[in-house]
Amino acid sequence: MDKMINLKINGRQIRAHSGQTILEAAKTAGIDIPSLCHHPAITPHGACRICLVEIERQRALQPACTFPVSEGMKVETESPKVVEERKFVLQVLFSERNHYCMFCEMSGDCELQALAYRYGMDHWTYQNSYPKIPVDGTRKYFIMDHNRCILCRRCIRACSELAANNTLGVKFRGAKTMISADMDSPFGESTCVACGTCLQVCPTGALIDRKSAYTGRETQVERTKSVCMFCSVGCGTEIITRSGRVLRVEGEWEEHNKGVLCVAGRFEPVYDNRERIRTPLLRKNGELVPASWDEALDIVSDKLKSTKGNKIGAWTTSKTLNLTMSEFVAVFQGKIGAHVGVLEPTLSELELPVGGSLSELVSSDCILVVGADPLSDHRVLGYHIKRARMKGAQVILVSENCNEMGRFAHKKFAPEDLVRAIKICQNSASPFVVYGDGTTQKDAEKLVVLKRKAQFIPVFPATNGYHAKVLGLQYGLNNHQIEMIYFLMEDAAPKDEWIKRAQNVKFLVVHTSYHGPITETADVVLPSLLWYEQEGSLYNLEGKKVAVRKAAPLPEGLIPENEVLTQLAARL
Amino acid sequence: MFKIRNLKIFLFGSFEHLDFGFVSDFDIRISDFLNNLFGSGNNGIGGKPMTKVKVAMDWLAACAGCEMSVLDMDEKLVELLDRIELTSTPITDLKHPPKEGVTVGIVSGTVNNTTNLEVVKEMRERCKILIAMGDCAVFGGIMTMRNFFDMNEALKRAYIETESTVEGILPSSEELCKPIKACPVNNVVKVDVYLPGCPPSPEAIHYVLSELLEGRIPVLSGENLKYD
């Protein structure tokens, strides 16, 4: 299968693998063939005609991105004929729609413009006919300006191959062709899930991110490789900042999510408008007033020393870093002897394997989803299940409630019939079990039989549930007689049960980033960092330790959570 | 000085091959013409002392950004003035290029109304080499946004519906020009040199003028070729 092929590109002898395209072979050999519609993450299309090359004995120029290599082939990538053709294609692309660089958001980073500069285009040969082309602003987070679209179809391919959503397509033909969603619905009213993968791959300024438009060119911004903290999938991200301000989030192409993010990781965090806590606060005369760290930590440590260990409850969210969680356990359980727990389920009672790989999930032939609703809250995992399904995998859903995966499941079983679902998996070649916090102990005992055969993917309800499970943290705000509570909440929005528990306690310390119902009754409020200020590591869906990196400097007076805990411990 | 009888035929001639919009495909006759005009050295034609090359500038529907960029050449503009003579320009505020014609004409702005048409045609007639400077002259630029609206709609919005207008009326004097579809200069007359940019950088403008003075056709690339 992996036969080596010898061919000549621009007079150079190249060796390529059989099955590769000319573009791929050239790239490996360090020869750059320009293209517009090509993108390494999606299947080649041959739409833009920029990569046309001259091949000996071929009647016409051929697109390098789709043409397979063959033995003895001779290819010219910058011959006069090829260059003339490329310039012609560029002129035609510019003449079709309204490509005016001077007021375009993408100018400076646009792939179409870069090609025009490269080939010295200094005017248009063909008169622009000023067609009236619409701009679609119906999506909440980004805009589609059809004027700038070159119909490369990267967005369509990304929507179907990467996000597996299949919302985008084209309508009409020829010069009237337009990218459209579903049956020509406005994008914001379509089945678009706002994952933003199309936005990330668009080569021109056709897809424009609202928040970060006109805020800086690639040469003016900084990119920080980090990990999304909004669910336990732990997608690799790149946080784009300028002068300490977060502009937007992009998916990282090398990590397990391979560039794909979801609305909760790409857009929602940048739009967070909640009121941020900037200094420690102490309750004096019924009001929360700013205080220094020393003051606040002195009061907390005094209270901790004066209360019996078993009358103190310390709970942390799983949406935090490894070091913070470990430090939390060391201080509150180790040093103080308090009741320590975690605020979200950790799947710790389920003795099931972990470590299934996302990329292998896509090649699975049978996926059993039990006790989880990935498309609602772990969307990128859900997209990967849908991708597997598009490739022929059978999706079996075991659920009693309304489940987003229901529409895509081949078979649905009630929880009582789990055994029948397991049987189907046993008869498959490479099954996967995706299990969430809706899985009971009994279910787990039944699923164990698939241990040898299937890969297991745990769907922790919150980000670093993996580490919480490793540390043995228990979920549940127990009903012990507690006089003092320490909640480490980071930027998680408080759930009703936490607020209720907090209301009845004598002394409440809340360590969080935003004001909210839970800080209203707190005695001490300690500010925590935001997702783009965190520096440390956590575990992603596959059980791999990944690095969360600080993308912006810490605001004045804020301290990382684990340091706060260390300082607190030093006072005890 | 070299006298060209039939300028139009000489310059526009008969271009057999397709123009792909790139200076490298320029007709070879322009190159010869330039060489004869400017000579290849410092002495000019026939060993006589160098006479200053006459330059005229005019603007159509423009914002003056390109003219600002010309002034931004700073001391380099002063140096150029040793070799060029600015005749009518928006800066010197003479309204027409000299009747006897000039060597180099620079036009900025979009062709937007009937007056622009007259101006650009006059510039083409009186200038041997016409440079379209700036995105508006080269590509049509910002003014073309008006083409997507009905002309009456656009006029009403501008003269009647603007928030600060009280009892507006549409201008209808006979003496006024009429608006036409906005288009780049090369839709109306032949352009010899294109200088895109919004505005083109002073370095790019200086490059184009110096190249012409040396008798070469300027080929823009790198930092000199920008569309924004």
Q: Do A124 and B227 touch (CB under 8 A)?
A: no
Position A476 scores a pLDDT of 84
Provide the 10 A C-beta neighbour count for residue A566: 15
- Alpha-carbon distance A323 to B104, whole Å? 71
Quick one: which of A336, A482, A328, A455 has its CA closest to A384? A455
For A338-472, where are the E strands, in sequence order?
A: 339-342, 366-370, 394-398, 411-413, 431-435, 455-458
With a pLDDT cut of 70, the percent of chain A lying above it is 100
Position B38 scores a pLDDT of 58
Q: pLDDT band for B23, please (50, 70, 90 cuts).
A: very low
Q: Is residue B58 part of a domain?
A: yes
- The Cα of A88 is separated from the nearest Cα of chain B by a number of Å equal to 6
- Alpha-carbon distance A96 to A151, whole Å? 11
Tell me whether the omega of the peptide bond preceding residue A494 falls within 30 degrees of 0, making it cis. no
Predicted-complex ipTM score: 0.86
Position A479 scores a pLDDT of 73
Q: Is residue B169 part of a domain?
A: no
Contacts of A123 in chain B (CB under 8 A): 21, 132, 138-139, 184, 186, 191, 194, 196
Q: pLDDT band for B35, please (50, 70, 90 cuts).
A: low
Q: From the centroid of its chain, how far is CA A294?
A: 38
Q: Do A120 and B220 touch (CB under 8 A)?
A: yes
Q: Which residues contact A254 (CB under 8 A, 6 or more apart)?
A: A236
B2 touches A: beta carbon within 8 Å:
no
Domain boundaries, chain A: 4-78, 109-117+129-271, 281-347+468-536+553-570, 358-459
What's the whole-number mean pLDDT along residues A264-281? 94
Q: Which residue of B has its CA nearest to A107?
A: B228
Q: Rounded to the nearest 5 degrees, what angle is found at the Cα of A251, between the Cα atoms of A247 and A253?
A: 135
Q: Which of A355-364, B26-35, B58-67 has the lowest mean pLDDT?
A: B26-35
What's the whole-number mean pLDDT along residues A222-244? 96
Q: pLDDT band for A310, please (50, 70, 90 cuts).
A: confident
Provide the 10 A C-beta neighbour count for residue A261: 28
Q: pLDDT band for A501, please (50, 70, 90 cuts).
A: confident
Residue A436 pLDDT > 80: yes
Residue B59 pLDDT > 70: yes
Identify which of A102, A108, A123 has the shortest CB distance to residue B186: A123
Position A1 scores a pLDDT of 56
A34 pairs with which residues across the strands? none
* Inter-residue contact B194 to B207 (CB < 8 Å): no
Is the CA virtual torsion A303, A306, A312, A314 positive or negative? Answer: positive
Identify which of A120, A130, A132 has the shortest CB distance to residue B22: A120
Q: What is the pTM of this model?
A: 0.90
Residue with tokens 């979009």: B110
From residue A435, how far is each of A56, A117, A199, A351, A541 by CA, in Å?
55, 52, 31, 12, 12
CATH label, A109-117+129-271, candidates 3.40.50.920, 3.20.20.150, 3.40.109.10, 3.30.70.20: 3.30.70.20
Residue B47 pLDDT > 50: no
Q: Which residue of A has its CA nearest to B219?
A: A120
Position A402 scores a pLDDT of 82
pLDDT digits (tens, 9 = 90+) for A47-96: 999 999 999 999 999 999 999 999 999 999 999 999 999 999 999 999 99
Position B10 scores a pLDDT of 46
A185 pairs with which residues across the strands? A181
With a pLDDT cut of 90, the percent of chain A lying above it is 89
Quick one: which of B83, B79, B68, B80 has its CA closest to B38? B83
Position B18 scores a pLDDT of 40
What's the whole-number mean pLDDT along residues B183-188? 96
Q: Coil, helix or strand for B23?
A: helix
pLDDT digits (tens, 9 = 90+) for B114-134: 999 999 999 999 999 999 999
- Alpha-carbon distance B38 to B50, whole Å? 9
Q: Coil, helix or strand for A201?
A: helix
Quick one: which of A233, A258, A316 has its CA closest to A544? A233
- Alpha-carbon distance B211 to B228, whole Å? 22
Token pair, residue B60, equals 């159509």
Position B42 scores a pLDDT of 44
- Alpha-carbon distance B24 to B19, whole Å? 10
Count how many Cα atoms sit within 13 Å of the Cα of residue A103 in the half-sphere of its side chain. 11
Residue with tokens 């010069």: A175
Q: CATH number, domain at B118?
A: 3.40.50.700
Residue B1 pLDDT > 70: no
Q: Do B138 and A122 touch (CB under 8 A)?
A: yes
* Inter-residue contact A321 to A536 (CB < 8 Å): yes
What's the whole-number mean pLDDT along residues B184-188? 96
In this structure, what DSSP letter does residue A437 have?
T
For chain B, where are the E strands, in sequence order?
A: 53-59, 84-86, 102-108, 111-113, 127-133, 179-183, 193-195
* Inter-residue contact B114 to B177 (CB < 8 Å): yes
- Alpha-carbon distance B143 to B113, whole Å? 11
Contacts from B116-124 at CB under 8 Å and sequence distance 24+? B116/B60, B116/B61, B116/B177, B117/B180, B117/B188, B119/B58, B119/B60, B120/B58, B120/B60, B120/B185, B120/B188, B120/B189, B121/B188, B121/B189, B122/B96, B122/B97, B123/B56, B123/B58, B123/B97, B123/B189, B124/B189, B124/B190
Position A340 scores a pLDDT of 93
Token pair, residue A409, equals 């499941």
Find the chain A residues whose C-beta atoms sit closer than 8 A to any C-beta of B.
84, 87-88, 91, 98, 100-104, 107-108, 113, 116-117, 119-125, 127-128, 130, 132
- The Cα of A248 is separated from the nearest Cα of chain B by a number of Å equal to 23
Name the domain count of chain B: 1
Q: Do A103 and B195 touch (CB under 8 A)?
A: no
Q: Is residue B120 part of a domain?
A: yes
pLDDT digits (tens, 9 = 90+) for A180-225: 999 999 999 999 999 999 999 999 999 999 999 999 999 999 999 9
Amino acid at A203: P
Question: What is the DSSP annotation of A493-515?
Answer: PPPHHHHHHHHT-SEEEEEESB-
The CA dihedral of A318, A320, A324, A330, to the nearest 10 degrees, is 0
CATH label, A281-347+468-536+553-570, candidates 3.40.50.740, 1.10.10.10, 3.10.129.10, 3.40.190.10: 3.40.50.740
Q: Is residue B27 part of a domain?
A: yes
Position A309 scores a pLDDT of 85
Does the domain formed by A4-78 have CATH 3.40.50.720? Answer: no
Q: Which helix (H) or strand (E) holds B159?
A: helix B151-159
Identify which of B19, B144, B186 has the shortest CB distance to residue A130: B144
**Domain residues for B110?**
7-13+21-142+181-224
Position B41 scores a pLDDT of 45
Contacts of B137 in chain A (CB under 8 A): none
Q: Do A87 and B21 touch (CB under 8 A)?
A: yes
Position B17 scores a pLDDT of 37
Position B31 scores a pLDDT of 58
Q: Is residue B96 part of a domain?
A: yes
Contacts of B19 in chain A (CB under 8 A): 125
Position B37 scores a pLDDT of 62
Provide the 10 A C-beta neighbour count for residue A159: 26
- The Cα of B110 is separated from the nearest Cα of chain A by a number of Å equal to 13
With a pLDDT cut of 90, the percent of chain B lying above it is 69
Token pair, residue A218, equals 């690639």
Q: Is residue B104 part of a domain?
A: yes
On average, the pLDDT of chain A sits at 94
Token pair, residue A140, equals 């909440």
pLDDT digits (tens, 9 = 90+) for A121-139: 999 999 888 999 999 999 9
Q: pLDDT band for A348, please (50, 70, 90 cuts).
A: confident
CATH number of A358-459: 3.40.228.10
Q: Which residues contact A16 (CB under 8 A, 6 or more apart)?
A: A4, A5, A7, A24, A25, A28, A69
